[in-house]
């Protein structure tokens, strides 16, 4: 059976900033509809650059960006089409928020699409609810806490009702409670059919959350099921990542005969608890 066409895909993409060395060389990344993809790699490895290529903010020097299998054209029409499907939330919310109030900021994208006022209002209400910040609608963005600004920035992207939501280190700088709430929000968006791509340094979160992983190392970009890639010690080493806690626990359980060879290890404390209950 042929796999479904990825919603968005980079094909043999290479990129260098002006007068700079190559940041990405011959990179391929297919994002299947409805999946959760974690992008990992060392500092300066090219994650942000790759996310900007994937969302059309940067254009690859060679290679192509495909949307639903068709090459994206970087004219006004092509970019509008891309942006109605793919939205990027940048790492620093202060690079994204600029309007006076949260609601105004969130309304900016839908208004720019030329949607009728009622539709804009509906989308803003929906996005604020999705991010659990309805109470902040009229607050000036510069008076919000960092975590609240992050949520407001994500709401701005969600209001565009993108098929693919791309986020650059969305959990960085959030407290543990804020991280959990954000993951719950992402789960709800995914349940509603949104594809999510997230750059992160948090291997534990990536293993728990992602279906697919994409790992950048000096050898290039490796992609595949998150559980397999995040248990590959050589790859983790090359990408300067540590082994996820759950992978170490799985190995320990197998070495003690508590988990059959090849069986996936527990990814959360709850899964470990359930497994220990089963083995008595």
Q: Interface with ligand ATP by CB under 6 A: which range of 44-52, 137-145, 231-239, 265-273?
A: 44-52
Q: Is 41 in the site for ligand ATP (CB under 6 A)?
A: yes
Q: Is 44 in the site for ligand ATP (CB under 6 A)?
A: yes
Q: Is 148 in the site for ligand ATP (CB under 6 A)?
A: no
Q: Single out the residue of 8, 10, 40, 46 in contact with ligand ATP (rule: CB under 6 A).
A: 46
Site for ligand ATP in 162-181 (CB under 6 A): none
Q: What is the DSSP annotation of the chain?
A: -PPPPPSEEEEEEEEE-TTS-EEEEEEEEEE-TT-EEEEEE-TTSSHHHHHHHHTTSS--SEEEEEETTEEPP-SHHHHHHHHHHEEEE-SSGGGT--SSBHHHHHHHHHHHTT--HHHHHHHHHHHHHHTT-GGGTTSBGGGS-HHHHHHHHHHHHHTT--SEEEEESTTTT--HHHHHHHHHHHHHHHHTT-EEEEE-S-HHHHHHH-SEEEEEETTEEEEEEHHHHTT-HHHHHHTT-PPPHHHHHHHHHHHTTSS-TTPPPPSSHHHHHHHHHHH-
Q: Is 114 in the site for ligand ATP (CB under 6 A)?
A: no
Name the minimum Å distance from CB 141 to ligand ATP: 23
Number of residues that bind ligand ATP (CB under 6 A): 11
Q: Single out the residue of 45, 63, 162, 266 in contact with ligand ATP (rule: CB under 6 A).
A: 45
Q: Is 49 in the site for ligand ATP (CB under 6 A)?
A: yes
Name the minimum Å distance from CB 186 to ligand ATP: 20
Q: Is 194 in the site for ligand ATP (CB under 6 A)?
A: no
Which positions lie near ligand ATP, rule CB under 6 A? 17, 20, 23, 41, 43-49
């Amino acid at each position: 059976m042929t796999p479904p066409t990825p919603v968005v895909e980079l094909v043999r993409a290479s990129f260098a900033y002006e007068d700079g060395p190559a940041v990405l060389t011959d990179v391929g990344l297919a994002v299947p509809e409805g999946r959760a993809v974690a992008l990992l790699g060392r500092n300066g490895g090219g994650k942000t650059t790759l996310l900007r290529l994937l969302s059309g903010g940067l254009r690859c020097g060679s290679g192509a960006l495909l949307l639903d299998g068709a090459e994206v054209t970087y004219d006004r029409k092509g970019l509008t089409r891309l942006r109605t499907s793919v939205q990027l939330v940048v790492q620093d919310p202060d690079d994204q928020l600029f309007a006076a109030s949260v609601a105004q900021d969130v309304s900016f994208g839908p208004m720019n699409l030329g949607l009728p006022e009622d539709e804009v209002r509906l989308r803003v209400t929906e996005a604020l609810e999705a991010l659990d910040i309805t109470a902040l609608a009229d607050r000036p963005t510069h008076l919000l806490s960092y975590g609240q600004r992050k949520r407001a920035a994500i709401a701005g992207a969600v209001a565009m009702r993108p098929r693919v939501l791309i986020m650059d280190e969305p959990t960085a700088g959030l407290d543990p409670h804020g991280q959990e709430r954000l993951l719950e929000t992402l789960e709800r968006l995914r349940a509603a059919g949104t594809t999510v791509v997230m750059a992160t340094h948090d291997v534990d979160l990536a293993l728990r959350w992602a279906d697919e992983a994409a790992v950048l190392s000096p050898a290039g970009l490796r992609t595949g099921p998150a559980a397999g890639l995040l248990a590959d010690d050589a790859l983790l080493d090359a990408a300067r990542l540590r082994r996820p806690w759950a992978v170490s626990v799985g190995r320990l359980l197998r070495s003690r005969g508590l988990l059959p060879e090849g069986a996936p290890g527990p990814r959360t404390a709850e899964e470990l608890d359930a497994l220990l209950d089963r083995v008595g």
